[in-house]
Amino acid sequence: MAEKYIARSKAIAARMIGGETMVMSALDSTFFTLNEVASTIWQAADGRTPLSEIVTGKVCQEFDVDRERAQRAADRFVEELSQHGILLVSDQPLIDSSLESR
Amino acid sequence: MSLIAEMSQKALKLGLPISVHLDITYRCNERCVHCYLDHDDHGEMTTAEIIDVLAQLADAGVFFLSISGGEVLMRRDFFDIVERARQLLFNVKVKTNGVMIREKEAARLRQLGVEQIQISVYSHRPEVHDAITKLPGSLKKTLRAIRFLKSQGLKVSIANVLMAGNFSDQAGVIALAKELGVHYTLDPTITPKMDGDRSILALQIPGSELKQVFNNAELVGNVEEFCAPPPAPDEDVMDGYPCSAGHTACYISPYGDVFPCVQFPLPSGNVRRQKFLDIWHHSTQLKEVRSIRARDLPTCSTCAHVGTCTRCPGLAYMEGSMRGPSTADCEKSFQRTGIPSANMLKRARTDSAGPLIQIQLPMNSAQDGPFPVETGSPEALVGISAHA
Ligand code: SF4
Ligand code: SF4
């Protein structure tokens, strides 16, 4: 399967509070909250690190979960956020797409 | 509870400021008759200072940022400030009179991803609006701005301050908002001037007109519910606090002064001398504001309306005590329900030796506070919750 690269859109508002991340689309005002695992993927979405590497290097390490389950959950997460234009997804690295995120 | 309310609840538990109102200038190209500001520049924060404050606010966990004034576009660096705010991923709302917004400015606001623009409109008739702003031609320019902003696909809301002079134009402004396809909010409260001068309160609409507003289904929804007598307060109400001021929100002036709210001028620190988070966590004033519960309010804790009143602690502070009643809110509670407030009864007792007619108050009860508590649900491995 082709590698996925993910980057946070610029057309959002976002802030992490107490391990969770609030994200609001500046395009349609959809509001999301991301739990700790989703927030970890979100923070790592720099457009350069392949999603599989985020899953093995971050999610599996930080949350003690097996790779397959984490990958499936990450794929679903990416699909949903990309539908709202909040995450950008490509099979090529996305240059200059990441933003400083707190 | 909406996801936003859930996050506010979380911020409250964590003691985080989730929203900040930042005025970047008090200068203005209008001179509204009801304005509480001194429009001279007494040394506004520089661009660099504001940008530093924005970074501190982002680090502190602030998500909702209102950028306001004065007229925000009086600052040449307005777009630099908004740009930085958006790079720091704030949800930005801009308040403006719109007079200086044309196609170019509207397009820039859209490009920067500003969430909402709030524009003051006092009447659909130029002679009334312009007499309030004291700027000839202002309504025409303001409406032009709304059209430019709408054509960019921006979310716009009209804010109408109701006064004796424009009360009868209310329906006209609502119709105008509908025609423009924008949201409409109305505010019947006039705030005393920052220097304590209360003379502008004379512009306030009389109680009978307030009653008309509360009985207008178009504005309040279900009138019967809205005007229902207050239920008896329970322990939760008595343990509750009035609003977000100082709890999850605060205000920063163009001079860097920090207050619990734009309508609560209790000096609590200054970001030119202190770090924002030091003020937020350690200011004795903010700590005092946070410590106050409904049961600590000498008059209001005995009032039938305590659980449902919109009592503003900032207006109460301006009247003499942040623990006292706010007479503007007493009037609202009375006009809404027909039941006199504890403050009114107390005044009546002081004003006359023995009341001719005695009024027996019904007992009252609770309503949801601004941050209702919710029970959690089991979380998925990667949990996202969406709310459009
Ligand atoms: S009630 Fe008053 S002090 Fe509280 S948030 Fe509203 S305006 Fe500010
Ligand atoms: S109606 Fe007046 S006295 Fe009663 S709670 Fe509200 S502000 Fe206090």
Q: Residue B167's pLDDT is what?
A: 92
Tell me, letter by letter, the H, E, C secondary structure of B125-190: CHHHHHHHHCCCCHHHHHHHHHHHHHHCCCCEEEEEECCCCCHHHHHHHHHHHHHHCCEEEEECCC
Q: Does B149 touch chain A (CB under 8 A)?
A: no
| B331 alpha carbon, closest ligand | 2
Assess B385–A contact: CB distance below 8 Å, yes or no: yes
> Does B155 contact chain A (CB < 8 Å)?
yes
**B384 closest CB neighbour out of A29, A80, A100:** A80
Q: Which residue has the higher pLDDT, B379 or B26?
A: B26
Provide the total of helices (H) and of strands (E) in chain A, helices listed first: 4, 6
Residue B190 alpha carbon to ligand 2 centre in Å: 17
The full set of domains in chain A, from first to last, is 5-86 (3.90.930)
pLDDT tens for each residue of A12-70: 999 999 889 999 998 888 999 999 999 999 999 999 999 999 999 999 999 989 999 99
% of chain B with per-residue pLDDT over 90: 76
Tokens of B157: 């809301």
Establish whether residue B57 lines the binding site of ligand 1, counting it when its CB lies within 6 angstroms of any ligand atom.
no
Q: Do A74 and B385 touch (CB under 8 A)?
A: no
The dihedral through the CA atoms of B74, B79, B80, B82 has a sign that is positive
Out of A10, A17, A77, closest to residue B61 by CB: A17
What is the pLDDT, as a whole number, of residue B382? 56
CB contact under 8 A, B115 and A24: yes
Confidence of residue B349 (pLDDT cuts 50, 70, 90): confident
| pTM higher than the cut 0.80 | yes
Q: Is the pLDDT of residue B383 over 80?
A: no
- What per-residue confidence (pLDDT) applies to B361? 41
- Distance between CA atoms of residues B101 and B105, nearest Å: 5
Residues of A whose CB is below 8 A from B62:
15
Sheet holding A12-17, edge to edge: A12-17, A20-25, A31-34, B384-387
pLDDT of residue B378: 34
Taking the CA of B337 as reference, the closest ligand is 2
Check pLDDT > 70 for residue B353. no
Say if residue B354's pLDDT is above 60: no
Over residues B7-21, mean pLDDT: 94
Nearest CA to ligand 1 atom 7: B263
Mean pLDDT of B49-57: 98
Question: pLDDT per residue over B61-101, tens digit each?
Answer: 999 999 999 999 999 999 999 999 999 999 999 999 999 99
* Greatest CA separation for chain A: 35
pLDDT: is B127 or B210 the higher one? B127
Higher pLDDT, B219 or B28: B28
Task: Indicate the average pLDDT of chain B.
Answer: 89
